[in-house]
Amino acid sequence: MAIRKGPESGRLQIAQITPTAAIPGGEFQIRGKGLSLSDRPRVTIGDVAAQVIIGSDSFVIVRVPEGVSAGELVLANGLEASPAWSCDIGVQIADSLHPVANPAVDSYGNIYATFSGSRGQKTPVSVYKIDLNYNVKPFISDIMNATALAFDRDGLLYVSSRFDGIVYQVTPSGSISVFVEGMGIATGLAFDKAGDLYVGDRSGTIFKISQSRQIYVFTTLEPSIAAYHLCFGPDGYLYVTGPTTSSFDVVNRVSPAGEVEVFYRGLGRPQGLAFDEEGRLYVAGSLGGRKGIIRINQNREAELFVSGPNIVGLAFTPSRSMIVATSNALYRVDVGIKGYSAL
Domain CATH code at residue 31: 2.60.40.10
Task: Identify which of 33, 35, 67 has the alpha carbon closest to the alpha carbon of residue 52.
Answer: 35
Strand partners, 178: 168
Q: Is the residue at 343 inside a domain?
A: no
Q: Using CA atoms in the order 238, 155, 120, 164, what is the torsion angle rounded to 10 degrees?
A: -70
Contacts of 191 (CB under 8 A, 6+ apart): 150, 151, 152, 153, 197, 198, 232, 342, 343
Residue range of the domain that includes 144? 91-333
User: What mean pLDDT value characterizes the chain?
Assistant: 94
Q: What is the model's pLDDT at position 10? A: 55
Q: Is the residue at 164 inside a domain?
A: yes
**1 compared with 120, residue with greater pLDDT:** 120
Domain boundary among 25, 58, 89: 89
**Do 26 and 121 fall into the same domain?**
no
**Do 105 and 124 fall into the same domain?**
yes
Binned at pLDDT 50, 70 and 90, residue 3 comes out as very low
| Cβ pair 36, 60 in contact under 8 A | yes
Tell whether the model's pLDDT for residue 99 goes beyond 80: yes
Q: Is the residue at 8 inside a domain?
A: no
Q: What is the model's pLDDT at position 276? A: 98
Q: Is the residue at 260 inside a domain?
A: yes
**Do 253 and 123 fall into the same domain?**
yes
Task: Identify which of 269, 268, 285, 280 has the alpha carbon closest to the alpha carbon of residue 324.
Answer: 285
**Do 40 and 133 fall into the same domain?**
no
How many residues does the structure list for the chain? 343
State mean pLDDT over 12-23.
Answer: 94
Interatomic CA distance for residues 201 and 223, integer angstroms? 9
**Do 270 and 304 fall into the same domain?**
yes
Please write the tens of the pLDDT for every residue from 157-176: 999 999 999 999 999 999 99
Q: Is the residue at 7 inside a domain?
A: no
**Do 68 and 99 fall into the same domain?**
no
According to the 3-state scheme, what is the secondary structure of 31-51?
EEECCCCCCCCEEEECCEEEE
The string of DSSP letters for 128-179 reads EEE-TT--EEEEE---TTEEEEEE-TTS-EEEEETTT--EEEE-TT--EEEE
Domain boundary among 89, 113, 128: 89
**Do 57 and 125 fall into the same domain?**
no
Q: Is the residue at 339 inside a domain?
A: no
**Count of structural domains within the chain:** 2
Q: Is the residue at 187 inside a domain?
A: yes
Please write the tens of the pLDDT for every residue from 212-246: 999 999 999 999 999 999 999 999 999 999 998 88
| Cβ pair 279, 341 in contact under 8 A | no
Q: What is the model's pLDDT at position 113? A: 98
List the CATH number of the domain containing 250.
2.130.10.10
Binned at pLDDT 50, 70 and 90, residue 69 comes out as confident
Please write the tens of the pLDDT for every residue from 104-161: 999 999 999 999 999 999 999 999 999 999 999 999 999 999 999 999 999 999 999 9
